Amino acid sequence: MIRTRLLALALAGLAAAAPVAASTAMSDRWAAEPPRVRSLLERAWAAETGKGSERNEPLAVALYCEAARYGSAEAHYRNGLLRAQGGREVRDAGLAKSFLAFAHELGHPAAGEALARHGLGDVPQQMPACLSDEHSYEQVAVVSEDRYVKSLPARRQDVAALVVRLAPEYDVDPRLARAIAGVESNFDRLAQSPKNARGVMQLIPETAARFNVKNPLDAEDNIRGGLAYLRWLSRHFKGDVLRVVAAYNAGEGAVQRHGSVPPYFETRAYVWRVLTMAGMGHALPAGLRN
């Protein structure tokens, strides 16, 4: 009887640990991705699995596709799998074949086997519209940011809370600051991009020096630098949140040259996602709204 109870407890423990282990394994696979791409992959995985919100496969494929535009083999692969074996809303053999084929060309180790396993050899390949349509990201619905943040590991929750706590010192809306930190690094204080943007707010060396950040990988120092930059942008653009967010992504010079949000897919997607996550979708012009 005692042995049976111990076995039952052990199995229950394994079952409870399985989702955490799966999530950790996925996160490890994305460790080499640039921070902004990794943030997209982590949020797409949360939508795909229901971690931190209700399961939402259309949201998952949209986020994976945005990550795929950055050239992520993993994003192509995950999207291909969802298109091949997901629910009725997202299943599409032609798109599955395209995403998995792109993943295979980009060197994903499991993509070729997935193509064969799902019997996609004779299926006509279909070009995913989201890889070429500038407005495809507008279909991305954003789940509750509060609920999502609460699903993160404790260390990242602490970083998100620090962003919210410090923002008022710089006259920055805490919701906006948290949304930018979430998009930039998903609250990872050690994040580093191929362009050497570092830390929670992804500060490049020039911006870090400009706002007196001594250690970009120290969470508070980095967040204060990012908030100081947001305060400067807000004053420079006279409180126009649309231009402030666009400039944080593309630089104030690009925003000044174009007069508003520059016509770059990355920046337009960034502005849409940040403001929607911050609950400020009302600030988006018609061309950047659903």
Catalytic residues: 184
Distance CA(255)–CA(253), nearest Å, equals 5
The answer to whether 60 and 82 are in contact (CB under 8 A) is yes
CA dist., res. 159 & res. 9, Å (int): 34
Q: Which long-range contacts (CB under 8 A, 24 or more apart) does 269-273 make?
A: 269/66, 269/137, 270/183, 270/245, 270/246, 271/242, 271/245, 271/246, 272/137, 272/138, 272/140, 273/137, 273/140, 273/142, 273/179, 273/183
**CA separation for the pair 123, 121 (Å, rounded):** 6
- Rounded Cα gap, residues 172 and 274, in angstroms: 14
177 vs 180: CA distance, rounded Å: 5
Tokens 């955490």: give the residue: 20
Q: Are 126 and 92 in contact (CB under 8 A)?
A: yes
Tokens (6 digits) for 65: 């596709």
